[in-house]
Structure 1
Amino acid sequence: MEKWEMKVYNAVSVLVVIVGIIGLSWVLYGLYEEHFGEEKPVVMTQEEATDTKTVEKKAAVSPAESRIISREIERSADTPPVVTYYVQAPTLEKAATETAKAIKTQSQAIPPAAVKKADRTIVTADNKLNKVDVYKINLRKAHKLKAGVSYIYDKSYFTAGYQAGRWEGLAYFDWQGKPKGGSVLYTAAEW
């Protein structure tokens, strides 16, 4: 192996290790937040909950996530609630705020369905029907780390990959850690 090839190999190896450490840290942080992160319910009116721009600002989510949240809230308007319970409050807004506080503190006074873990919790005050709704929305995970084994031309390779949305990149390594190739894939259809 020539001197420049060795430098390239070392640089690629260091880069792969750095990306692996960053990816592992990211995954561990995500797992920590998923299991130990504090529930942060967002209070808004029913009209605000169906407006994607307002959801994006109030819930601090991306435009794609705000569309998903608004769509889920609109779809669930015709379905009966999983649980119903009553709160004493002078106004609907106060009832929504009290419900959000109870969810955040995981109070025993509210049903377990309202306290269960979700990616986003939206509490809405519906003035037309004189009620407060709690929406538990789980968003699609946009980032994925992948690992596996590939078998190509009678040889096996360790495969590491990263997926962001519909794009996926894969790198193939021999069992000594030397990079042997790569792929970039785009998800054309999902179901």
Structure 2
Amino acid sequence: MAQLAPVPQPIGVFPELIARQTETLILKEKVLSLTGDSFSIKLANGTPILQVEGKILSISGRKTVRDMQGKHLFDIVKEHFHIHTTFAVKDPSDRKIMEVKSKFAILGSKAVATFTSTNGKAEELQMKGNWFDTSADITDEAQGGIVVGRIDRKLLSGKDILFGQQTYALQVAPGVDMALMAAMCICMDEKNNEK
């Protein structure tokens, strides 16, 4: 994958997880997870950075995201009673820090994430995927449509077919929050699981 350009201003909520250079994260569903939707998230060099644990029998499909020290960063929950599929990213005190809402698209898929960066700037990132949702670009339209993240789903390995497991490569631009990009990727996976 080609390197992504650095963003002019940092985008994110977790300063300690802002990418310093183009980073590729590997999000892999755990095969034998009892909850069904747990992920390990590692850098391309194998260094683990985040743990995602799905909750058993959760109506909202709650997933808890922790850093490698076990610190609870946020939960991802599906919100009901919306026309379009909507996910909320909530901090440990249950305050919404990001919303990811799918939008109508004739071809492929589209979602918009809204949140406020630590510098106080309101952010809106668009995620546009191809027809089969095997890839998506995450762009910041306010900064000229710059690509801040790129998702590529690895298709049809033996484990994928046998266990229904998904693996994603997520490229994150320098200056962008890796945790929020991972949350957007997980929201895309959850929406795909509904089909």
Normalized against structure 1, the TM-score is what?
Answer: 0.26
- For the pair shown, the structure with the greater C-alpha radius of gyration is 1
Of the two structures, which has the highest relative contact order with CA contacts closer than 8 Å and spacing of 6 or more?
2
Normalized against structure 2, the TM-score is what?
Answer: 0.26
Larger helix percent:
1
Larger strand percent:
2
